[in-house]
Each structure stands twice: as structure tokens, then as C-alpha cells.
Structure 1
Amino acid sequence: MKIISMIPARYSASRFPGKLMKNLAGKSVILRTYEATVATQLFSEVYVVTDSKIIYNEIVDNGGKAIMSKKEHESGSDRIAEAVANLDCDIVVNVQGDEPFTEKESLKKVLDVFLDDNDRGIDLASLMVEIKDWDEINNPNTVKVIVDQNNFALYFSRSPIPFPRDKEVATRYFKHKGIYAFRKEALLDFTILPMQFIEATEKIECIRYLEYGKRIKMVETEVQGVEIDTPEDLERAKLLWK
């Protein structure tokens, strides 16, 4: 089974423009993410896929591998689907460009899902981490996920889910970490499936897979890390890096 990693990277992020080129302990955020992904040694190849010459040159000039998108894309999944269409691979792992704390243990848990999936009943696998801070649970920048008894995703939302109507119930809340592992065919299917209103409302691309009946296996991890969505996140990442 050939496994590769793709890191989709846009320069113009709406909440924090140019965030991937911001300095994190002497290197750009995107270079830190690329190097962390390569360092796991879990992949045959690791590529950054981007529509930005600045990001492309940042990776290539530092000895990495990058692919320029040929057209505009609405989502990271669309961007990497274009890049892998003609590549020989079985599993594609999407690591978000703003995840410089990507580490081996959590990624291996995701990949092990496919090693045990002899019936090929899993289309995607992804990570979730328990959160207990109410500010984070209520933060719309934090995507939450709820799962069934077998840890298959039921729904993703920017709202707190489940809603805590009964405060006496010991509810656990899980944050969706932006790392996906796809079967190649599931990823290519994504590009031909039209966006539906729930995905358009929440602005969460993995909802599209659920709306079309794809099965997403969620794997729990205890590794929090920092996803860099805002300038404040970058400052937290700098402190954590030290």
C-alpha cells in the first residue's frame, strides 16, 4: 500500500492573510509543517500543493517538493485531488499547512485504520482530540465532531455539539484536527460531487463526504498542538515551540 502526504497551501487565508509565510522560530509556518511531516518517515513522498509562487519557492528553495495548482480551487481536497490524479498511490494524507506540530504518533493511528480495513468499508480517517475549555468549545474557529459507537463521524459543526441541554450528563466534546487520510478514489469522487447546503452553511468541507454517504472513521488522539488560524495562535505556537 503506497501512502503519500499532500499539504494544501493557500497564501491568502481569510482570517490571517499570509499566515503560512509567517516566522515561527526562524522558519516559515509552511516549511515547519513540511519538515515535520517528512520527519515522521511514514510517507513515500510529501508534497506541498499551492497556488502561490511565494509558497512554492519557499519549499523548493529549501530542498522540498512542491506542486503548483493548475486552476483555482474552493477547498484543500479539490486542490490535492488535482495533484494526485495521475500519481501512483493508494492512500493520500492531507496535512493542513498551518499544522507545524504535526507528529508521527497521531498520523500512524490514522494510517493503521486502513491496514485493519480488509473490507474497505472506510473511505476516510481523521483525528479528534477531547476539549474541555468552554471558550474553545464555543469558538466557531474550532470545528467539533460527534461520532457513533464505532467512532464513525455523524456530524461536524462550528457550534457546540452536542448541545448541553442537560448539564448533568457527562458529555465529552471533541475537536476535529485538520488531518485526513483518504482512499485515493474517495478523494477523486469529492471533486465531482456538488457542494450541498449544509457544507456551504458551515464551511466545513468534510461534511460533503457525509452528505454523500462516505464513511469517516475518527481516531482519538491526546496531542493538542496549535493550528495557526489567527495572529494569537501564532504567538501561542512560538511559546510552545520554545
Structure 2
Amino acid sequence: MSESPRIALVIPARFGSSRLPGKPLADLLGKPMVQWVYEKALQVPSASVVVVATDDQRIVDAVQTFGGQVVLTSSHHPSGTDRLVEVMGQVHADIYINLQGDEPLVRSEDVEQLAQGMLADPSVDVGTLYHAIDDGEAQNPNAVKVVLGQAGNALYFSRSPIPYPREGGKHPGFKKHVGVYAYRKRILEQYAQLPATALEQTEQLEQLRLLAAGLRIRAFEVAPTGPGVDTPECLEKVRALLEGKSYTPVSPLANVRLLITDVDGVLTDGGIYYDATGECLKRFHVRDGLGMRLLEESGIRVAVLSGRDSPTLRKRVADLGINLCAFGVKNKEAACIELMQEAGVTAEQTACIGDDSIDLPAFAACGLSYAVADAPGYVKQHATGVLKLAGGQGALRELADAILLAHGKEDVFSSAEGFHSVSSGAAQ
């Protein structure tokens, strides 16, 4: 009788993180986060060995303290898969399952399902997981979507909402990719030689390199998963869930002290009209104007930033009493920084709203960025959030209301008494 394939569960745990440095060692109810993942991995029945792969001695020390097995790897790996390839040289197995070190709520039964799926079909090169999501979550570029063939193999992964719902009644629903992978040893041996592709670089998704090479990625469905830990807010949410407590997230908009808005395609519907004298005419939405004034009257500055300059635009801005503005701008990133300095705020206290590629430099300069609903997908991909309304159709007002709500000032737009408190400076 042949011996059962040996399965290694490898937990990449990188110390460096731009949003949450030292993330694997973050305390969760008295234990470092990586220990939670390690203990869940030990509960997977098919696992022959569980090992943490890290680039930092501090994590090595922490894992050894709680009795775990750990491997110190290079700090120059561009991805968790590259780190896994190095581990393969030290830990023998036939199948390697890559768990995320920032997923303390991972379910051992999901990992076991993945392992059993790989054992059941030796023709599958790589295995992964997915679950269904609603249309709203599908719009989030941080939620990677997957489209499957009839056999359950991945056809494509994308940050965009795929498949495109041209006819809603015929849509099969969106599927969110869960970033847990199972690789056969022979695939990992090939991985380092596979060239990076334009698709991988465009989407920033390493699994597209595997698909481009013709490898088969089988996806197994699981129940919706708990949140991972990417930011301090995520950490607080996971901590509350582990304690069995309800969690009320603090909106990042609560820190906003300045909103920078584009004009064409945001405050207007993108149309440009000329009268008989050659004067440029644009249609603004009155609710956006009131939203701008409500923010200003509530102590939140509003700045208008435009690559164009015209008497029409200046008249509209003057009518609204907005005195923080920049017209005829060629470098929107530099202009945003200057507006922040003038307002006395930091990038983390600034949000911007845009609709097209010309606004991407502004997105890069500001802590938060929002794309209008009719912005191109490649613009939405770079935004913190995507609004429900289109440019010129009340999109800025939608964001203004959200900012006021996050600041606890919902009454200024939702009640007569609250509106009266700021109405002296209100204008549409």
C-alpha cells in the first residue's frame, strides 16, 4: 500500500507592514496573532506538519516561545508563494498549503476541505477557496473575485466585479476568492521560473501568473469567512469577535477635515456646452452645493480643484462661498499638497473625490479617495471607496452626508433643528 501524501501547512508571517507594522505579533486576547493561526492549523486532520515562515527574528522568538515550528527565510521575497518555495527546501511534503498569517479567524475545516480536494484529484495543480458575496462587496477592489468553469476550475481572478452583469436576471452571482492556496510540490518547483505577466502586474494578483502558464486552479466553496487583519481597525474588529462582543467600526471619514473635489465629471455631469458667444456652460447639481456648504458650516473645509479655469467655474465657486480652490492645475498631486498646507491638515485628514485618470495623482496625495459611480473601472480600482451616485447627480452630496454622519453631525441634514443651526451660511 502506498503511503499517503504528506501535507505541510505553511504560514508566511512578514513583520513589515505599511498599515500595521509587526502585524503577526499583534496581541489578541493575550496571544500573538500568528499563534492563533498556528493553533487553527494544528487542528487540520490531514496536516503532517505546521510551520511558520518569517523574515524576522522577533517572530522566530515568539513562535518558539509558544512551542511552534518556525523557519527563518529571506526578507526579499516579493510574495508569500516565493517564501513558500524557500521553505520547500527545508520542509519535505507532497502538497504545501499556504495559510495567511493575518487570518486568525481561519476555520480548520475549510483548510481540511481544501486538503481533501487536492487528495481526491491528483490532476489539480493548485487548489484554493471561495465564497459568495453580494453586489455591494463585489464593487470593492480589495475583494478579489473569481469566475469558475463547470468543473470548478478558475477561469480568471480580478479586482473588478466579474462577470459583468449585463442582464441582471441571468447573473450567476459574484464569488470572492479566499487567499488560501494548496500547491503540489512539482508546481512550486516550477514557480520561480514562471515569468511575471502583464495581467499579474496589472491586477497585482500573483495567481494570474499560474493561469497564464496554463496551470489548473481548482476552487472549493466554503461559507463566508471572517475578516483578516490589514489595519488597526481590522485588528479591533477581530479582537471583538474573539471576545464575543459586538463591534461598531469607526469610519475613516471621522478623521476628515478637508474634502477636495474635482469639477468636470464630479460637480458637473461631464458635459461641456457653449453658447452663441463661445461662453462655456456647465450644469451643476444643487444638492452638491448644499453639501459643500453644510461641510463648511460644520467646520470641515472644502476645496475645489480643477484642471480648467473659466468665469463660469469661478462664479459657481464664489456663489458657494468656497475660498479654498485651485484652477487651471496641471499637477493635481502637488496642488492637493498645497491645499492641505493652506487648510492646515495632513493627508490622513484629507479626502478627495474624482472621476477619471486625471484625478489619480490626487488620489495618491490624499489619505482617502472616492470615485463617482460612473468612473471607469481602472479609476475605481485606485479609490478607497466607490460612491453610489454618478458625477453631477449628487455624488459629492452623498460623500458629504457620509462625512457629517461619521462626525456625529447627521442632524444638520436630517432634521429641521439641526439644519437651522447652520442654515445662515447654507447655499445651493
Same fold (TM over 0.5): yes
- Aligned amino acid, residue 20 of structure 2: F
**CA offsets, 1:134-159, max 9 Å, x none?**
0x212222111111111100111111
Q: TM-score, normalized by length of structure 1?
A: 0.93
Correspondence for 1:21 among 25, 38, 41: 25
- Aligned amino acid, residue 202 of structure 1: E
**Segment drifting more, 221-230 vs 45-54:** 221-230
8 A Cα contact 2:129 2:179, kept in partner: yes
1:202 corresponds to which residue?
A: 203
1:132 corresponds to which residue?
A: 134
Q: Measured at CA, do residues 101 and 76 of structure 1 come closer, stay the same or move farther in structure 2, by a change above 3 Å?
A: same
Structure 2 counterparts to residues 101-112 of structure 1, below 5 A: 101-112=105-116
TM-aligned CA deviation for residue 223 of structure 1:
4.1
**Segment drifting more, 211-220 vs 201-210:** 201-210
**Segment drifting more, 156-165 vs 120-129:** 156-165
1:3 corresponds to which residue?
A: 7
Instruction: Output the CA distance in 1 between the equivalents of 2:195 and 2:202.
Output: 14
Instruction: Output the CA distance in 2 between the equivalents of 1:71 and 1:97.
Output: 16
8 A Cα contact 1:40 1:103, kept in partner: no
The alignment status of 1:183 with 2:187, answered yes or no, reads: no
Structure 2 counterparts to residues 1-242 of structure 1, below 5 A: 1-70=5-74, 72-117=76-121, 120-132=122-134, 134=136, 136-242=137-243
Instruction: Output the CA distance in 1 between the equivalents of 2:81 and 2:109.
Output: 23
8 A Cα contact 2:12 2:98, kept in partner: yes
- Aligned amino acid, residue 31 of structure 2: K
**Segment drifting more, 181-190 vs 170-179:** 170-179
8 A Cα contact 2:74 2:83, kept in partner: no
- Identity, % of aligned positions: 38
Q: TM-score, normalized by length of structure 2?
A: 0.54
Q: 1 or 2, which has the higher strand percentage?
A: 1
8 A Cα contact 1:106 1:223, kept in partner: no
Q: Measured at CA, do residues 69 and 106 of structure 1 come closer, stay the same or move farther in structure 2, by a change above 3 Å?
A: same
**CA offsets, 1:23-58, max 9 Å, x none?**
222212112111111122431111110111121111
Unaligned segments of structure 1, at least 5 residues = none
8 A Cα contact 2:95 2:184, kept in partner: yes
Instruction: Output the CA distance in 1 between the equivalents of 2:117 and 2:43.
Output: 21
Instruction: Output the CA distance in 2 between the equivalents of 1:228 and 1:142.
Output: 14
Greater relative contact order structure (CA < 8 Å, 6+ sep) = 1
Instruction: Output the CA distance in 2 between the equivalents of 1:103 and 1:154.
Output: 26
Matched position secondary structure for 1:168: helix
**CA offsets, 1:153-172, max 9 Å, x none?**
01111111112232333431
Instruction: Output the CA distance in 2 between the equivalents of 1:176 and 1:76.
Output: 16
**Segment drifting more, 216-225 vs 21-30:** 21-30
Matched position secondary structure for 2:111: helix
Instruction: Output the CA distance in 2 between the equivalents of 1:223 and 1:92.
Output: 23
Matched position secondary structure for 2:169: coil
RMSD: 1.6
Unaligned segments of structure 2, at least 5 residues = 244-428
Instruction: Output the CA distance in 2 between the equivalents of 1:101 and 1:71.
Output: 26
Instruction: Output the CA distance in 2 between the equivalents of 1:130 and 1:216.
Output: 18
Matched position secondary structure for 2:123: coil
Q: Measured at CA, do residues 198 and 174 of structure 1 come closer, stay the same or move farther in structure 2, by a change above 3 Å?
A: same
